[in-house]
Amino acid sequence: MSNLILSEWYKLRKDRSFRFLCAGLILMGIAYPILVALDSQTGGGAPLSGIEIFVSAVSANEYFLKITIGVLAGFFISGEFGNGVMKRAASAGSSRSRIYAAKLAVFTAGGVMMSLLFPLCNVIVGSLISGFGELAEVDATLYLFRTLGFTILFATAFASLCALFAYALTDSGKTIGSTIVFFFFIDSLFYIVGNQLEFVRTVYEYTVLNLFRVSTMSFVLSARDIWLSLTMPIATFIVFLVWGTFVFRNKEIK
C-alpha cells in the first residue's frame, strides 16, 4: 500500500495540471490583496487588514476549490483511463480497492493543498501590506485557524465526490464538465425544490454543500454547527470512498 501511495504522490508532483492550478492559485492569492491595497489608496479609504482580506477571500475560495478539484480529478484520475495507465495498474497485481484508496488519498492531499493556497496567500500578503488586524465579532486568530481547519475537512469531502465522478466517467472532459456543472447548479436545484418540499430543504442543510458556507463564512458558530461541520465531511468522505471503490471494482477498463 505504501508503494502505491508513493507512486501516486510522485505522479501528482509531476502532474502538469496540478502544478498549473497551484501556480494560478498562488498568483491570484498574491494579486488580490495588492489590488485591494491599491484600490484603497486610490479611494482614500483605510486599507483592509490581512484578516479582513482573508474574510473576503474565503467566499471566493469556495468556487476556486470546487473548480480546481474538479479539473485535477479530470486530468489526474480520468486521464489515466485514456492513456492506459489505469489498465496497467489494475493488471499489475494490486487489488482495485488498494489502487482506489491510494489514488484517493493522494488526490485528496492535492485537493487539500490547493484549498489552502488562495486564502493563505491572501492573509500573508495582506498582513505584510497593512498588518494582520482584528475582527470585531470573534478573535481573529481563532477564526483564521478554525476556517482553515474546516476548509481542509470539506476539501476532503469534495475530493471524494470528484473522484467518484472521475472513476465513473473515465474521461477528462466529461469529468471536468460534470463536476463544474454539478457544483454550480446543485445549490440552485436544492433551493428550488426545497421551496416546494420541506424535507429537501432539511436534507440540504445537512449536506457539505451548505455546511461549507456555514463553517467558513460565519464568525460565530453554534455547538450544533461545529458538530455537523466536523462529522458530515468525514461521513461524506467515507460514503464516497465506499461508493467509489464499488464503482471501480466493477468497472471494465478498456
pLDDT digits (tens, 9 = 90+) for 140-195: 999 999 999 999 999 999 999 999 999 999 899 999 999 999 998 998 898 888 88
Give the chain's domain count: 1
C-alpha grid cell for residue 176? 471536468
Query: In terms of Cα–Cα distance, which of 90, 88, 87 is closest to 98?
Result: 90
C-alpha grid cell for residue 49? 487588514
The answer to whether residue 84 sits within a structural domain is: yes
Indicate the SS3 state at residue 247: helix
pLDDT digits (tens, 9 = 90+) for 185-241: 998 898 888 888 889 889 999 999 999 999 998 899 999 999 999 999 999 999 999
The answer to whether residue 191 sits within a structural domain is: yes
- Residue 48 scores a pLDDT above 90: no
C-alpha grid cell for residue 169? 466517467
The residue range of the domain holding 198 is: 2-249
The answer to whether residue 85 sits within a structural domain is: yes
The answer to whether residue 19 sits within a structural domain is: yes
Query: In terms of Cα–Cα distance, which of 248, 106, 253 is closest to 164?
Result: 248
This prediction has a pTM of 0.94
Name, in order, each residue with C-beta under 8 angstroms of 4's C-beta and a sequence gap of 6 or more: 94, 98, 99, 102
DSSP state of 136: S
The answer to whether residue 254 sits within a structural domain is: no
The answer to whether residue 177 sits within a structural domain is: yes
Q: Which amino acid is at 154?
A: F
What is the full DSSP assignment across 172-237? HHHHHHHHHHHHHHHHHHHHHHHHH-HHHHHHHHTSHHHHHHHHHH-SS--HHHHHHHHHHHHHHH
pLDDT of residue 43: 62
Confidence at 45, pLDDT banded by 50, 70, 90: low
Percent over 90 (pLDDT), the chain: 66
Distances (CA, A) of 217 to 92, 97, 147, 187, 225: 46, 36, 8, 16, 12
Rounded Cα gap, residues 218 and 13, in angstroms = 34
